[in-house]
Amino acid sequence: MKISVVIPAWNEAETIADAVASARAIGDEVIVVDAGSPDGTAERATSAGARVVASEKGRGHQLRAGAERASGDVLLFLHADVRLEGDARSAIARALEHPAAVAGNFFLRFEGATFAAWLFTVANDVRRRLLRIYYGDSAIFVRASTYVALGGFRAMPLFEDYDFVRRLERLGPTAYVRDVVAVASARRFEHAPLRTLLLWSLLQVLFSIGVSPARLARLYVDARPKPRAPRRGR
């Protein structure tokens, strides 16, 4: 089994070398898809041992571009700020042992001892177990043949991962690997975490009933919680 790891990146110069090192422990091939980062991400990824592919900006575009150039039997899509703790390669091999098994993802844990980290860790676990809903930050892996048959990721401004997962899950149950953990930062959720979770849930429902990703992306920008500016002293 040959695993190709695809990492979409934008301005990840500070962390991309660690991301590539982590991915090389899992995959036979590491592809970093850079969207023209001005901070030297591409150069650092190359120095770390990755194959760098250029793409237009947008995670859907980047994931698709990386997959098109991958040569592995299995594709693992890994966000640049996510690390897999545990023997991910063996876990993927076990999950895909049966010929009927086509894909899976990992338990997602958000770092930190904060309410936001706990809330989003629990919410993602419940959604995955009960509704078979999961996103790209949980490190989706899929047989290359299945990826091609489904048409791959679509270039859309929001929910490119959920769109792919919905098509994937129609094929049947996928593997939920819990003994290897995808660890991500909860920093982007720390301000108004409950409101952020409710907003994402609403956007997901709207997407499911046919509202366009472009319209949802605009709605998200307008409605997402924003940190309050510090008060000026008198």
| Three-state DSSP class for residue 229 | coil
Closest CA to 3 of 149, 140, 172, 201: 140
pLDDT digits (tens, 9 = 90+) for 37-50: 999 999 999 999 99
pLDDT value of residue 82: 95
- When pLDDT is cut at 50, 70 and 90, the band that residue 186 belongs to is confident
pLDDT digits (tens, 9 = 90+) for 70-108: 999 999 999 999 999 999 999 999 999 988 899 999 999
pLDDT at 230 over 50: no
| Distances, alpha carbon 32 to alpha carbons 41, 90, 127, 184, in Å | 9, 22, 29, 18
* 223, containing H or E segment: helix 213-223
Write down the domain spans for the chain: 3-188
29-33, 193-197, 201-205, 226-230: segment of lowest average pLDDT: 226-230
Please give the CATH architecture assigned to the domain spanning 3-188. Alpha-Beta Complex (3.90)
Closest CA to 132 of 88, 101, 181, 175: 175
- Contact, 55 vs 43, CB < 8 A? no
- When pLDDT is cut at 50, 70 and 90, the band that residue 227 belongs to is low
Distance CA 199, CA 182 (A): 23
Distance CA 55, CA 40 (A): 15
pLDDT at 228 over 80: no
pLDDT value of residue 189: 82
Average confidence score pLDDT of the chain? 93
pLDDT value of residue 203: 96
Arithmetic mean of pLDDT, 23-42: 97
| Distances, alpha carbon 180 to alpha carbons 70, 117, 148, in Å | 24, 18, 26
pLDDT digits (tens, 9 = 90+) for 100-133: 899 999 999 999 999 999 999 999 999 999 999 9
Q: Give the pTM.
A: 0.93
By the 10 Å C-beta count (0-12 exposed, 13-18 middle, 19+ buried), 113 is classed as exposed
Distance CA 33, CA 89 (A): 21
What single-letter amino acid sits at 119? L
